Amino acid sequence: MPTNDGFQGVSNCYVFKSRLQEYAQKMGLPTPVYETIKEGPSHEPSFRSTVIVNGVRYDSLSGFFNRKAAEQSAAEVALVELSKSVDINRCISLPVHETGLCKNLLQEYAQKMNYAIPLYQCQKDENPGRAPRFSCTVEIGGIRYIGAAAKTKKEAEIKAARTALLAIQSSTSDKSIGDTPLTVIPSKKRGAEANVTTRDTSNVPKSKKPRFRKTKFKKKLSGVKVFQTRIENVQMLGLNVGNVEESKCENNNAFAISSKQLPTQPVTNSQDGKGQNEKVKYAVEGSLDSHTDGNSAIGLPTTPVLDTNGSKNGAVTVGTPTAVMSHGDGTLVSKNANEVSGCGELVKPVSNSSVDQLEASNMMHGRPRKSPKPEDEAASAAKAEKLRAFQSQFLSNHHNNNYTKEAIEVSAKLLQINPESYTAWNYRKLAVQHNLSHSNSDTDSVKSILDEELRVVESALSQNFKSYGAWHHRKWVLSKGHSSIDHELRLLNRFQKDDSRNFHAWNYRRFVAALMDRSEEEELNYTTDMINTNFSNYSAWHNRSVLLSHLLKRRVEGFFPKEKVLNDEYELVHQALFTDPDDQSGWFYYLWLLDQTVKADAPSIVSTWPVHGSYITLSGDKCVRDVALFSFYSFHSDSGTFPLILYFNEAVGGVNSSTVTVTSKLCTNSDLIWKPLSINNSSIAQVWVTYVKFLDKKLHCSENYTVEVSLGHSQGIISSRGFDYSHSTQIAFEVRVQCIEAELTKDQDQKISWKEGDFQNYETQCQEPNPVVSLNQLIINDCCEPTTSNWHAETVANEIALFRELLSEISCKIGKLTLARLLRADDAILSPSSNKMAHAEEILNLYSDLIKLDPSHSWFYKDEWSSVFLQQVTSNGESLMRHCYQYRDLLVPSIGNFICLRLNNLSLSRMGSFEKLLWIQMLDLSHNELRSIEGVEALQLLSCLNLSYNKLSSFTALGPLRLLKSLKVLDISCNEIGSHSIDTSRYLFSSPLSHTEEIEWNGDEIDTGNVNLTNYWEAFLAFKGLNLTQVDISGNAVADEQFMTFFVKLLPGVKWLDGERLRYDMSSVSDNLELFIGFLIL
């Protein structure tokens, strides 16, 4: 973990996004879309990203410390993957430098390297009698590159930029020093030019375009960004609204800051529109990054860092220096009478100005920072001047590999002013390596070299103790060997005293603790101290949870039994929650605790289809069903297979024919292929399915075949947290195949209408046992191990009482949310099997309250509300039957059974309780507010689905449909597909990550005529394998004429489109069917 941070993130990644963008442009593909996910606790976020190019997702490495680095990594992966295919190679291998993007890239590079903005100087060479030629030089990082002559000024600039990039890139590729993670080093080849004096960069060419336009665009973009971040947080933290709020305001804050800076940003040169966009986006992301990454950076008293925006300006913005930490070390007033002993610390009030600084340093978190005073600006300008002087000196040392004492001293001075200068840190790394290799390894000189490094880092840190570069460098130095690690702890204590929430320090602390093998108990005590000092400390709480889970897992002396430890933790966190319910950090810890309390370790099975003890009637392609049979337990399949579904309580992996044994005359166990139902193509899933063929066997009609499924007999099914499915489970049911052959009737082509009049409530005439009852049998059957104590139940009950008390005092959003979650946990604990929802009404009311109280997160609460509501509906037979209807026409054999579950008009924002609805074949979810149908993939029997009049906004949101092999009728009319330019569904619903489409997609596979397939790749992905016969898609923005042409070709089996019968040659239909069966077996 400590090795995979910051550095790799930044190294070498400065061009990938642009290159990928360029590739996409070349190929006529849509702009690559990045989905970046913030992970980890909010005080210590890490990022990973997925880029979607051409419908394929490429995942970055994880654990980046900033968003941009993660995106670059994703782009890199994409490029590597893409370059494997030939035609793509053609595109990418061409140097990127052919286009105007060169200037962008160079600009980006300059930002990355903290250089001043590239400075272009053009010269017009007038040759009499010929058109004038322009030649241009660009200066970056103190080096001047000369481009070839060109006809226009713009072209000349591009050429100069290209020269520079080529030089920079070639120097990067041949420069590698062992495994040291170094950033790009500017060209060595250009050494001769390196001595060219750096020009003052402040006279940047004036913008040609009006500034306001640009600013406006930026604002819009950053707005979008804020929104995304917010959403991501919802997702990452599961149910944590608190954090959402936090980060929202953080982002807003950051936005305010960045937008303030924007107007001063000069536009260096005119570029084509595309490039401009790219650049603008960068600027916004950059500024957001710098404020979100730090997590607490809002109140940061303007670090004296040359940020990228600043360096763009030429006029460098260096904020007021961070408050000086030294204080209280004044000398005693001399008085001979007595001696002052050292108990307690001396307090020496300092003069006004210092007090202000102190206050500023106290204003570290979540409080607004002061705007810089004019005199500060003057000071910072002076500082910037000085910095520039050092910088050019430093760079020339760097390029000449000058590692003399004086040269190193220059870098130290530079870092003293700007600790964020990665180049300088890297230079120092090189210098250390150089010096170490020349120090003939005598201990003293090694020690003095390393000590000097530590000293420089320390002084840089006291300048800005949030400098990534400095902390990283320190780790690097320590990894080289260290003289006294105790000193590190002392240093940390000093920093953490100054700002106890500095996550850099916490991070480093973990590193040091691991390095010196400090006991986890000691570190735990340290967190206790920190929490006692200030309990609004995410870092401390987080570290505590990490340490504690280790200690609990290892059953360390004093940390067993778990119950005792957790009780104490509850006690502690209660103090924080009650003292200040508005503070979020404690709530996070509380949720962790609750998780520890409620969650069982081992995964278990929640439900199956067919259910244990049931009696299933199957019918095949040429069979007519016996309508008198119980509809809940009959299934019609054209392909002659029926699914066997296992629904687990959490995602598991390792379900296969060796871990699950199916015993039946119908099939051979080893032939069965179990597939995870996961839209991510991941190898773990909550739902697993296998298909049993029944038609090709010579089966005796009306004979019952027993099928027995057993699992848990051997190890191998493992949850994502690494626990084994342990208790052995037996599921047995009987199958009968209807094989009365009959002529196909014309009715087969009948259209399914979803009109109200076509349904009648099933309850009235229902005689058969409803599916819910039998479902219960299964769970009782494999009821988990007897609980040794009801500690869980008692704890949850106590907690509920406590939070009811708190809520009687105050109205607190997160308190209500927590109570709702506690009540749900209580329901789950009290009646794991009986499905009783004792608290359902109360929970629903709490969520309804929350929707009103906290409108900005109403969607989140709505989702929760929907989920509880559905839980309630499915909790018993009666309530479920109220939503079961019989479809009017009993004679549509191709559709399957005719019990329709109608959950329309219920204001549902998401679907849930799938584990109880596995039997559904016809589902009406129209007139709700669904924005996702995630989870619907579990309903393998589903053949008719009505999603009309919802809020589905993209085809991506319909992704789960891809896995519904039996789906024939789909109504997605009157949604919002295509009306949002940005597909928010990805951010709203889980797991856009780790999600690589493994489709061999060839654009020629479907003759799309003139339609540009790439515009509709999302639709293609969602529908490509489906054998739909009836689709309604009207009323969506996307459904224009062009799309419909594409759509019809995509789904050749469709007979009814938007209520109209398509004229189809039946034979061609069956041909297409053949084609698609290939897909089905995917």
Partner 1 sequence: MTETSSYPPIEPNTFNLIVVGTGLPESVIAAAASAAGKTVLHLDPNPFYGSHFASLPLHDLPAFLNSHSTPLQSSTTTTTVTIDGNDYTVVDLSRRSLYSDIEVSSYAPEILAENSRKFNIDLGGPKVLFCADKAIDLILKSSTNQYVEFKGIDASFVCSENGRLSNVPDSRAAIFKDKSLSLTEKNQLMRFFKLVQQHLEASEREGSESDNARISEEDLDSPFVEFLQKMRLPPKIKSIILYAVAMADYDQDNLEVCKDLLKTKDGINRLTLYHKSVGRFTNAPGALLYPIYGNGELSQAFCRRAAVKGCLYVLRMPVNALLMDKGSGQYKGVRLASGQDLLSHQLILDPAFTVQFPIVSSPPDFLRENLEGLSLREVKGRIARGICVTSRSLKPDISNFLVVYPPQSLYPKQNTSVRALQLGGGLAICPLGMFVLYFSALCDDAKQGKNLMRAAINDLLKLPGSENAESGSAVQGESAEVKPTLLWSALYIQELTTGQYEFLSSTPMPDGNLNYNDLLDATVKLFQKMYPNEEFFPETTSPESVEDDAELSLES
Q: Does 334 bind partner 1 (CB under 8 A)?
A: no
Of residues 161 and 540, the one with the C-beta less far from partner 1: 540
Among the listed ranges 319-327, 424-432, 671-679, 691-699, the one in contact with partner 1 (CB under 8 A) is: 319-327
In our burial notation (b when 16+ CB lie closer than 10 A, e otherwise), range 405-432 reads: eebbebbbbbbbbbbbbbbbbbbbbbbb
Per CB under 8 A, the list member of 207, 259, 261, 362 interacting with partner 1 is: 362
CA angle 623, 628, 634 (to 5 degrees): 55
In the complex, the smallest distance separating the C-beta of residue 417 from partner 1, rounded to whole angstroms, is: 7
In the complex, the smallest distance separating the C-beta of residue 536 from partner 1, rounded to whole angstroms, is: 8
Per CB under 8 A, the list member of 345, 756, 998, 1004 interacting with partner 1 is: 345
Give the type of residue at 488. Answer: E
Per CB under 8 A, the list member of 1, 346, 744, 1082 interacting with partner 1 is: 346
For residues 385-444, which are near partner 1 according to CB under 8 A? 386, 417
What are the Cα distances from residue 241, in Å, to 238, 587, 846, 857?
9, 10, 14, 7
Per CB under 8 A, the list member of 127, 351, 788, 789 interacting with partner 1 is: 351
In the complex, the smallest distance separating the C-beta of residue 320 from partner 1, rounded to whole angstroms, is: 9
What are the Cα distances from residue 159, in Å, to 25, 186, 463?
20, 18, 40
In the complex, the smallest distance separating the C-beta of residue 157 from partner 1, rounded to whole angstroms, is: 36
In our burial notation (b when 16+ CB lie closer than 10 A, e otherwise), range 215-248 reads: bebbeebbeebbebbbbbbbbbbebbbbbbbbbb
Q: Does 342 bind partner 1 (CB under 8 A)?
A: yes
Q: Which tokens hold the place of 928?
A: 């709700």
In the complex, the smallest distance separating the C-beta of residue 351 from partner 1, rounded to whole angstroms, is: 4
Residue 977, C-beta contacts closer than 8 angstroms, at least 6 positions apart = 952, 953, 954, 955, 1033, 1036, 1037, 1038, 1039
Question: Residue 1031, by phi and psi: left (phi above 0), alpha (psi -120 to 50) or beta?
Answer: beta
Per CB under 8 A, the list member of 535, 590, 632, 642 interacting with partner 1 is: 535
Tally the C-alpha atoms within 13 A of residue 428's C-alpha that lie toward its C-beta.
30
Of residues 358 and 853, the one with the C-beta less far from partner 1: 358
Q: Does 348 bind partner 1 (CB under 8 A)?
A: yes
Tally the C-alpha atoms within 13 A of residue 218's C-alpha that lie toward its C-beta.
26
For residues 569-608, which are near partner 1 according to CB under 8 A? 574-576, 578-582
Q: Which residue has the tokens 């019809």?
A: 1048
Q: Does 335 bind partner 1 (CB under 8 A)?
A: yes
Q: Does 497 bind partner 1 (CB under 8 A)?
A: yes
Per CB under 8 A, the list member of 78, 806, 817, 895 interacting with partner 1 is: 806
Binding mask 440-479 for partner 1 (x = CB under 8 A): ----------------------------------------
Among the listed ranges 358-366, 594-602, 752-760, 968-976, the one in contact with partner 1 (CB under 8 A) is: 358-366
Q: Does 371 bind partner 1 (CB under 8 A)?
A: no
Among the listed ranges 106-114, 332-340, 652-660, 1062-1070, the one in contact with partner 1 (CB under 8 A) is: 332-340
In the complex, the smallest distance separating the C-beta of residue 488 from partner 1, rounded to whole angstroms, is: 22
Reduce the DSSP state of residue 902 to 3 states and report it.
strand
Q: How far apart (Å, rounded) are the C-alpha atoms in residues 408 and 603?
A: 58
Per CB under 8 A, the list member of 353, 767, 788, 1010 interacting with partner 1 is: 353
Residue 251's beta-bridge partner residues? none
Q: Does 355 bind partner 1 (CB under 8 A)?
A: yes
What are the Cα distances from residue 1047, in Å, to 30, 976, 998?
19, 17, 22
Per CB under 8 A, the list member of 176, 197, 203, 338 interacting with partner 1 is: 338
Q: How far apart (Å, rounded) are the C-alpha atoms in residues 95 and 369?
A: 45
Q: Which tokens hold the place of 79?
A: 């490029």
CB atoms within 10 A of CB 347: 9
Per CB under 8 A, the list member of 27, 166, 350, 1006 interacting with partner 1 is: 350
Q: With CB under 8 A, what is the number of residues at the site for partner 1?
A: 58
Of residues 44 and 499, the one with the C-beta less far from partner 1: 499
What are the Cα distances from residue 897, in Å, to 375, 636, 774?
80, 7, 18
Q: How far apart (Å, rounded) are the C-alpha atoms in residues 642 and 617?
A: 10
Of residues 350 and 830, the one with the C-beta less far from partner 1: 350
Q: Does 368 bind partner 1 (CB under 8 A)?
A: no
Q: Does 336 bind partner 1 (CB under 8 A)?
A: no
Q: Does 534 bind partner 1 (CB under 8 A)?
A: yes
Q: Does 797 bind partner 1 (CB under 8 A)?
A: no
Q: How far apart (Å, rounded) are the C-alpha atoms in residues 868 and 847?
A: 9
Among the listed ranges 568-576, 594-602, 899-907, 964-972, the one in contact with partner 1 (CB under 8 A) is: 568-576
The answer to whether 686 and 647 have CB atoms below 8 angstroms apart is yes
Per CB under 8 A, the list member of 174, 339, 406, 998 interacting with partner 1 is: 339
In the complex, the smallest distance separating the C-beta of residue 248 from partner 1, rounded to whole angstroms, is: 21
Per CB under 8 A, the list member of 26, 133, 281, 327 interacting with partner 1 is: 327
Cis bond before residue 786 (omega within 30° of 0): no
Q: Does 352 bind partner 1 (CB under 8 A)?
A: yes
According to DSSP, the β-strands at 615-619 and 634-636 are parallel
Task: Look at the alpha carbons of 191, 192, 195, 198 in this order and tell me if their dihedral is positive or negative.
Answer: negative
Among the listed ranges 83-91, 307-315, 532-540, 926-934, the one in contact with partner 1 (CB under 8 A) is: 532-540
Residue of 891, 954, 889, 899 whose CA lies nearest to 921: 899
Per CB under 8 A, the list member of 155, 377, 498, 724 interacting with partner 1 is: 498
Q: Which tokens hold the place of 170?
A: 């070639």
Binding mask 1052-1081 for partner 1 (x = CB under 8 A): ------------------------------
CB atoms within 10 A of CB 767: 5
Per CB under 8 A, the list member of 86, 343, 628, 1066 interacting with partner 1 is: 343
Q: How far apart (Å, rounded) are the C-alpha atoms in residues 867 and 958?
A: 19
Q: How far apart (Å, rounded) are the C-alpha atoms in residues 424 and 432?
A: 12
Residue of 299, 312, 406 whose CA lies nearest to 359: 299
Per CB under 8 A, the list member of 86, 340, 628, 1066 interacting with partner 1 is: 340
Of residues 582 and 601, the one with the C-beta less far from partner 1: 582
Per CB under 8 A, the list member of 337, 746, 755, 1078 interacting with partner 1 is: 337
Among the listed ranges 526-534, 592-600, 837-845, 978-986, the one in contact with partner 1 (CB under 8 A) is: 526-534
Q: Which residue has the tokens 């995304």?
A: 228
Report the interface residues with partner 1, using CB under 8 A.
321, 324, 327-328, 330, 332-333, 335, 337-355, 357-359, 361-362, 379, 382-383, 386, 417, 497-498, 531-536, 574-576, 578-582, 802, 805-806, 809-810
